[in-house]
Every structure is written in structure tokens, then in C-alpha cells.
Amino acid sequence: MYVPKQFAISENTKLCALMREFSFATVVSHDGTAPFASHLPILLSGENDGPLTLSGHMARANPQWRHFENGAEVLVIFQGPHGYISPSWYESKELVPTWNYVTVHAYGTPRLIEDADRLHRLVDKTVAEYEGGRAQPWRDELPADFRDTLLKAIVGFEIPITRMEGKLKLGQNRDEKDIRGAIAGLRESGGPGDRELAEWMEKEILSNR
């Protein structure tokens, strides 16, 4: 990923926080002929300053898991808030439209989870992650034979992270008055995710100036 210095995220703590917050990720592999991508919930485990591992599962009918058997590196993309920035929101003149965004790229060589018990634990952990904050979380009360049939229809995997890179492109290269103008414009635009992007710009840029 092209990451100019002023947009780079260097702290592991922040990279990990972003991967956990925006955990519906894009897993990109290559079958030797063409790239292939799947969109999946991905869990991050490990300490921020120690070894980190991504894990997830996909349908067995999805051919991508077979790419994981060749020992090749894969890319996992975590996409945060993003949105169009109109130059009409700036006070400065002779500026052009752009797109602000938050993203993390993680790389590693995947390995399949072959053990049925480990796969079951991974699925339980995934459900707990997304049900945990609900007032009435769903409980797995499925019949054992039905659950086993479902587990046979998926493939689990884990990816020890070998390197990461993150990018906060939030207008750090603009004057404060232009940043404030963009934040106000995003809050008034009503576009999907624009208010969240405005909050990130205010939190990450203005609070550090």
C-alpha cells in the first residue's frame, strides 16, 4: 500500500484497535493465475506488542481456502470509515476533490484448521464476539448432529501476522481551517458514514494539533 509518511500509522496498539473495531475484512489471495477475495468477519488474537494471529472461516464451497494450501502469503484488508471530500468545504482555493479513509493491511501465510474441536471453538468465539454486546444474545442450542453438519460445510483458518501497515488519510496535510470546513461539510452531507469520518478527523487530527 502506498503510505505517505504523514498518513502512516506506526503504533501497533492503534493498528490492533482498528482491526478489532473494523473486523469485517477482505481476505485477498492468489491462485497462481488471478487474485481472489472473500469478505469475512476476522478475529484478532494476541498482545499488541507480541505475536498476532488472525482467524476466520469460510464456506467449504468457496475455492479460496485451497489457495491457503500452497504456502503463499495473503493480504487481509480492514476498512474503516471513508468518504468523499469536496473542495467547496475548504476556505483555501485551488484545491481539488479527494477521498479520506482509514485502513489497515495485514499480511501472513495462512494455515487451515483441520481439527473439528478447534473449528468448533473458533465458531463459538466468533459468535461470542458479535453477540456479546447484545441485550439478549443468541445462544447455540442447536442439536449436536445439525451443528456437526454445519461445521462440515465450513473451513477454518488462521493467519499469523508477519507484517502490518496502516493509513489514516484524514486531511493532515491541510490547514486547520480547511480541516474544520471538511468536518462541517461531512456532518451536513448525510452520506453513509460521513458523520463517523468527521468524528475520526476531529479526534485524530484536530485533537493532536
Q: How far is CA 5 from CA 85, 98, 136, 168, in A?
A: 21, 18, 45, 10
Residue-range definition of the domain harbouring residue 163: 5-173
* CATH code: domain of residue 116: 2.30.110.10
Quick one: average pLDDT of 117-141?
Answer: 92
State which H helix or E strand residue 165 sits in: strand 154-169
- 76 inside domain: yes
**Angle 47-49-53 (CA atoms, 0-180°, nearest 5)?**
50
HSE value, Cβ hemisphere, 13 Å, CA-based, for 96: 1
pLDDT value for 141: 83
Q: Please tell me the least confidently modeled range out of 37-41, 108-112, 129-133, 205-209.
A: 205-209
- 143 inside domain: yes
* 50-83 pLDDT, tens digit each: 899 999 999 999 999 999 998 999 999 999 999 9
CB atoms within 10 A of CB 72: 13
**CA–CA separation, 122 vs 154, rounded Å?**
11
* 10-56 pLDDT, tens digit each: 899 999 999 999 999 999 999 989 999 999 999 999 987 789 999 99
Q: Where are the alpha helices (DSSP H) in 70-193?
A: 116-131, 144-152, 176-189
pLDDT value for 4: 95
**CA–CA separation, 209 vs 207, rounded Å?**
6
- 204 inside domain: no
- 190 inside domain: no
Give me the number of domains the chain comprises.
1
Q: Are 133 and 189 in contact (CB under 8 A)?
A: no
pTM above 0.75, yes or no: yes
* 152-192 pLDDT, tens digit each: 999 999 999 999 999 999 999 999 999 999 999 999 998 88
Is the predicted pLDDT of residue 95 greater than 80, yes or no?
yes
- 193 inside domain: no
**CA–CA separation, 68 vs 32, rounded Å?**
12
CB atoms within 10 A of CB 5: 6
* 191-206 pLDDT, tens digit each: 889 999 999 999 998 8
- 12 inside domain: yes
Q: Are 43 and 55 in contact (CB under 8 A)?
A: yes
- 198 inside domain: no
Q: Are 66 and 79 in contact (CB under 8 A)?
A: no
8's grid cell: 502512516
Residue 209: pLDDT band (50, 70, 90) is low
- 185 inside domain: no
pLDDT value for 169: 97
**CA–CA separation, 47 vs 57, rounded Å?**
22
pLDDT value for 191: 84
Is the predicted pLDDT of residue 140 greater than 90, yes or no?
no
Length of the chain: 209
DSSP 43: E
